[in-house]
Each structure stands twice: as structure tokens, then as C-alpha cells.
Amino acid sequence: MMMIQPILEFAILFPAAFLCFLATAEHLKIRVRTLVLLTVPLLTLVCVAGGATCWYMWWPVRYLLPPMLIPAAVAFCRLVDLPAWKSVSVFLAVCAALSCLSLSVILDAVLSPANTTPWLSPVGGLIDFAQGWVLVALVWYPATHAARSLLRTEDVERSYYVFWILPAVFVLVNLYLLSLRDTLLLNEQLMRLYALLCLVLSGLLMLFYLLFYLVARELGQNTRLRQENQLLHIQTAQYEVLRTAIEETRRARHDMRHQFNALSALADRGAWEELKRYLAEVSASVPDAELGLCENQAVDGVAGRYAALSRQSGIPFQCQLDLPAALPVREMDVCVVLQNLLENALEASRNVQGKRYIHLSASLHGDRLLLLTVENLYSGELVQQNNVLQSTKPGGAGIGLQSVAHIAEKNGGYCKFVYGDGVFTANVMLRGGAGPN
């Protein structure tokens, strides 16, 4: 019967593990069912083995529980797809919160004064286990909303570097107080002070978590605003360049009729030398871009420009644009996305030796969705960090694909980049309003 006492104290590992995975549920590397089948038997084995060891050696549970945290933290980090500084912060936050639940020690001293073992009585162990699940219920909403929101944010890395300090201090302080348990519980006044201290520490820890969340959220929002402003500035500049090129092409097409009239007049007079010179001048002034790829002139101009650039680089360019003159999505967004995808495809194709190609397709799905696909070959290896493809150019992540992802997210659409075996495919869906823009 006595062996059950340390086993019940180790049972606090169950609510601790549940709380850790509750906050990181969106980043699990394995399915939830597999996780349950893996962790429940393992934690049961740890509780029984740890309890039996403490009973045999007559050790308090605090002798074995802290050393177990290191392999537990490593296992937790391996099961979640998060940077180490995030997963370790979650692990320490849970450990600190559960270490403050020392009221079971006081209740055990009141309910089982005859208990002389270094462990809680069976009643005290059950109370301690129940406290852990009560904490899970109390922090369920923050764990599934605030914590998950921070874990999805990529812009508060520096905040996490200092977050672990206070939870680690709380764990050490509570371990020290547990070592003084027998002394504190012998005196009624000290017992009351101990209870008050536990409540104060728990309140301070929760307040710290709240302040950290508010500060980290503010930092993330400020960083995202700066990035959005930067992307908007770049997109506006790109669109102005494209619009200038498109306008030049439109003027050239408009002037073509007048030039044909002049050619006809020269031919009627039989001025063949003048006709040859005039043809040479006209040929040099016409922009080298294919037109008539689709009814929308802006998209037609962008696709035609990159078709010409691809042809100059000896890269076959296949295009299938089934787009009307009026689009349900902002014309600027479509042109910037198309320009970024084709620019990346052209740059990657130029580095490929041997067979090369660029395939572009675009169409409408229903009245509000525009689908874009660009496929090309690439050489070398692509690196992805924090769900962001890194540029092959110096400087890290390329701004082009980030701009595409930002526009897709802003429009309520999505983008997906698939790569492997030397083939890169960009799929983008843009969502428009009820009517054309």
C-alpha cells in the first residue's frame, strides 16, 4: 500500500504532458491517436518505475522528478515541429505552473497528520493529481488560443530567449520550498505563510505569462506591419514598372496602324529604298513581347514580357491563359503575383543545364476565384526554414515568394509551393469580390 504513495505523486506527469501537447496540438509530428498510444503507456511505466525506486530507496519524489525533466524535454521537442526555443519555453511554462501547486502538501498535512513517509498520503496524492487537471481546465482557453497564436507567430524569437528565466526560477524556488516541507508544516503560522506564498507565486507566474503574451503579441503585430508596408512598397514599385511596359506596348500597337498606312503609301509610290529603311526603323521600335495571350491587357503584357525574356534566354515558354478582360481580383495583385512567379521561374531556369521550360496557366473558377500555376525546372537544393523557402541568392529568404504568399493571404486565398526531383510548381489561388475589379 505504501508504494502507491510515490506512484500517485509521479502521476502529475499526465496533466503536465496533456497541457504541453494541448498548446502545441497544431505542430505535432505524429497523429493524435499515435501520440496517445505512445505517451500513456510510457508515462504509466515512468510513474510505476519512479514510484518503486523512491519507495525502495525511501527517497522523496523530488529527488527523481527534476532529473526526469531533461529527457522529457528532449522527447517533447522531438514530437513537435517547432524551433527548440519555442518548445522548450512551452515545456518550462508548464513545469513552472504545476510546481506552484503545493496546496496539496498543506491539505495532506491537515487530513493525514499521522503520515510520516517522505511522500504524500494516498489522499494527498489524489488531491495533487486532481489539482493538475483543475489547472488544465483553468488554462484550457489560454492554451488553445493565446499560446497557439504565439506559436504560429514567427516574429517574437528574441522574446522567447528571455522567457525561460522566470519559469526556471519558479521551478527551483518551489523545489527548495518542498525540501523545507517538514519544517514548514510543523508550525501552524509557518503553514499559513507557506499556503499564502504558494498562492502568491502562482498569481505572479500567471501575471507574468499574461504580460509576456501581451508584449509578444504587440511585437509580432509591429513586425508584421513593417513587413506588410515593405511588401506593399515593393509591390507598388513592381506594378509601376509593369504598367509602364504595358503602356509602351499599347502605344506601339496603336501606332502600328499609322505605320501600315505609311508603308502602303511608300509601296504605292514604288519608293523601295525608303520602304526598307522605314521597315528597319519600325522593327527596332516595336517592343519584343508577345501579345494576344489573353483578353486582359495587363496580364497579357506581363506574360508577353516574360515570354520574350524566356525566348531570349533559349527557354521554351508555354502559356495557357483563360482570363477575361475584367477580373474578379484586383489587377495589380494578379500582375504582381504573376511577375514574381515568372521572375523566379526565369531565374531558376537560367541556372539549369540541359532541358529547360516554363509552363504558365491561369483560369477562373466560378465567379470569384482565380487560379495561377507556374512550373519550371531548377538545379541544386531548395532550403526551407520556418515554412519559408530560402532564396538561392545571398541574403536568405527571397522577397518574391513572400510577396506572393502575402497577397494570397490578404485576398483570402492560398499559395502552395511543391518541389522535388528538379521540378518546382507554384500554385496560387486569389479570391475576389462579388464583381469584377
Gap between the Cα atoms of 169 and 183, Å rounded: 22
At 375, the pLDDT band (50, 70, 90 cuts) reads very high
The owner of cell 521551478 is 171
The per-residue pLDDT for range 267-317, each reduced to its tens digit, is: 777 777 777 776 777 666 555 444 567 888 788 878 888 888 888 889 999
Gap between the Cα atoms of 411 and 172, Å rounded: 49
Whole-Å CA distances, 123 to 8, 105, 119, 120, 282: 9, 11, 11, 8, 97
The pLDDT value given to residue 290? 46
Q: Of 434, 263, 423, 411, whose CA–CA distance to 349 is shortest?
A: 423
At 435, the pLDDT band (50, 70, 90 cuts) reads very low
Mean pLDDT of the chain: 81
The per-residue pLDDT for range 92-144, each reduced to its tens digit, is: 889 888 887 777 888 887 888 888 888 888 998 899 899 999 999 999 999 89
The per-residue pLDDT for range 357-374, each reduced to its tens digit, is: 999 999 998 888 999 999
At 202, the pLDDT band (50, 70, 90 cuts) reads confident
At position 363, the amino acid (one-letter code) is: S
Provide CB contacts within 8 A for 142, sequence distance 6+: 209, 213
Gap between the Cα atoms of 305 and 301, Å rounded: 6
136-140, 345-349, 398-402 — which is least confidently predicted?
Answer: 398-402
112-116, 332-336, 390-394 — which is least confidently predicted?
Answer: 390-394
The pLDDT value given to residue 396? 39
Does residue 64 carry a pLDDT above 50? yes
Once rounded to an integer, what is the mean pLDDT over residues 385-413? 65
75-84, 137-146, 233-242, 328-337 — which is least confidently predicted?
Answer: 233-242
Long-range contacts of range 209-213, CB-CB < 8 Å, 24 or more positions apart? 209/93, 209/142, 212/159, 212/163, 213/142, 213/146, 213/147, 213/150
The pLDDT value given to residue 78? 92
Gap between the Cα atoms of 358 and 353, Å rounded: 14
At position 356, the amino acid (one-letter code) is: R
Gap between the Cα atoms of 354 and 350, Å rounded: 10
Per the CB < 8 A criterion, the answer to whether 435 and 328 are in contact is yes
Domains of the chain with CATH codes: 4-223 (no CATH), 291-431 (3.30.565.10)
